[in-house]
Amino acid sequence: MDSIVVKGGKPLNGKIAIAGAKNAALTLMPATLLSEEPLTLTNAPRLSDIKTMTALLQSLGVEVTSMQGGKVQVMSSHDMTSTTADYEIVRKMRASNLVLGPLLARHHKATVSLPGGCAIGARPMDIHTTALEAMGAEIELKDGYLHAVAKGGLKGAVVKLRFASVGATENVLMAATLAKGTTVIENAAREPEIVDLADCLRRMGAQIEGDGSSRIEIQGVDRLGAATHPVVTDRIELGTYMLAPVFTGGEVECLGGRLSLVTSFVEKLEMAGVDVTETPDGLKVKRSNGRPRAVNVTTEPFPGFPTDLQAQMMAMLCIAEGTSVLEEKIFENRFMHAPELIRMGADIEVHGGTATVHGVDRMKGAPVMATDLRASVSLILAGLAAEGETVVNRVYHLDRGYEHVEEKLGAVGAQIERVSDRDG
């Protein structure tokens, strides 16, 4: 089993190219199920989750061709053979549930296993099923599978989500493109990945208005066609690498970054004394003299502070001057990285969904264990600032969401390498 070994204390300088968004690509790929004609994605990230989604689509009979080392994905659903998403694939990744809406929309039936994924909370499917039932689907849970049928096809409806769920918004948005009549999604998620999906669907011929707001209106069409679409920049990878020079000193330019993707995150960085400058090619980040300052953070749906940057921010606040309070309001059980940071000398108290972080002068390298995707990279970042060597074990989580971390950080001066069998 691979581990990442980090030797801290070296400033970082240079440029890091930010990949296409994992969460966007995993939504865009199921959109191919809506059309018989090819969908081509450019700027696709090269991650294990993308391989899992590819395997799922192939199990349904979708032809998937990977080009340019995986950065271009060409998919065709002209000759599908199944509408069943099997447990053995779906259990590996929660985003697998995003085939439910497209299958119902085009084929009027779907059998989809309840999803798996990382251990950061329940993330229930009922918000998805309730919304699709409002559009005329009949859905039954049996033996761990959702058995869904839309006799005569889905119908337009007013769908009010009880929570601004990104996944449910995406599922309904895709389903509504081929539904009869008009669908309105109220309390829709507003994330950039939603806007990216809507842009792609419009390229395919969908009629969508209001994406990026809490009310999205979709006029159903008879069919969708071929399209080529560039995957939006990964705002979570962007935020992660923006933090790197804050731990170490130096100056890093994140290529492809845009302030509009990380506005609330940048606000907190600037409060902490970090300089962020927009350039023609991306965002340039450097730490002001000395340690960063403590700030309070509350995770919220977009455009609020992203839950997927909470672990990385906590790691940074471990070395900040003063006391910070982080409130996690999106997912329960998402402070599992705190005990591992404490092993490195951090001073953190966790009570339910709140963590209080008392900044320390320095962290010390230690063997630590990754518990989920974002926790993995938070420990690597902490290792960049720690004295001595940090060994992050069980980094298979990391490969689900970050491509070539050791290469990207190594290219700007980090002492980091991947090794095998440190954790047996």
Are 2-19+233-420 and 22-230 the same fold in CATH?
A: yes
Q: 199: annotated binding-site residue?
A: no
- 141-169: per-residue pLDDT in tens? 898 899 999 999 999 999 999 989 999 99
Per-residue pLDDT for 176 more than 50? yes
57: its two tokens: 């689509």
- Say what the pLDDT of residue 116 is: 52
Is 408 part of any known ligand binding site? no
Percent of the chain with pLDDT over 70: 97
**Residue 308 annotated as part of some ligand binding site:** yes
The SS3 call for residue 303 is coil
Q: Distance (Å, rounded) from C-alpha 15 to C-alpha 212?
A: 30
Q: Give 178-218 pLDDT, tens digit per residue.
A: 999 999 999 999 999 999 999 999 999 999 999 999 999 99
User: Which of these, 365, 349, 353, lies nearest to 317 by C-alpha position?
Assistant: 349
Residue 82 pLDDT: 96
Across the range 10-18, mean pLDDT stands at 97
Q: What is the pLDDT of residue 333?
A: 74
Specify the CATH number of the domain 22-230. Answer: 3.65.10.10
Q: 119 pLDDT exceeds 60?
A: no
Q: What is the pLDDT of residues 282-328, one digit of tens each?
A: 999 999 888 999 999 999 989 999 999 999 999 999 999 999 999 99
Question: What is the phi/psi pair of residue 235, to 5°?
Answer: -70, -25
Q: What does the pLDDT read at residue 159?
A: 98
Q: What is the pLDDT of residues 213-258, one digit of tens each?
A: 999 999 999 999 999 999 999 999 999 999 999 999 999 999 999 9
CB neighbour class for 143 (10 Å; exposed up to 12, middle 13-18, buried from 19): exposed
Average pLDDT in the 112-131 region?
A: 70
pLDDT band at 418 (very low <50, low <70, confident <90, very high): very high
Query: Which listed residue (118, 200, 254, 318) is catalytic?
Result: 118
* pLDDT for the residue numbered 124: 66
Q: Is 109 labelled as part of a ligand binding site?
A: no
**Residue 254 designated active-site:** no
| pLDDT at residue 58 tops 50 | yes
Q: Is 10 annotated as a binding residue?
A: no
Structure-token pair, residue 242: 């923006």
Average pLDDT, the chain: 93
- Give the length of the chain: 424
CATH 3.65.10.10 fits 2-19+233-420, yes or no: yes
Backbone angles phi, psi at 109, to 5 degrees: -160, 155
Mean pLDDT computed over 102-128: 77
Sign of the dihedral through C-alpha 86, 87, 89, 91:
positive
Please report, for the chain, the start and end positions of each structural domain, with discontinuous segments joined by +: 2-19+233-420, 22-230
Helix (H) or strand (E) holding 417: strand 415-420
- What whole-number percentage of the chain has pLDDT above 90? 84
Are the beta carbons of 419 and 3 closer than 8 angstroms?
A: yes
pLDDT of res. 332: 77
CB 175 within 8 A of CB 105: yes
**Rounded to whole angstroms, what are the CA distances from 251 to 92, 163, 285, 289, 376?**
37, 39, 6, 12, 23
Question: Which long-range contacts does 286-292 make (Cβ < 8 Å, 24+ apart)?
Answer: 286/245, 286/250, 286/251, 286/252, 287/245, 287/246, 287/249, 287/250, 290/321, 291/319, 291/320, 291/321, 291/359, 291/361, 292/246, 292/316, 292/317, 292/319, 292/320, 292/321
Q: What is the pLDDT of residue 130?
A: 94
Residues 348-363: tens digit of each pLDDT: 999 999 999 999 999 9
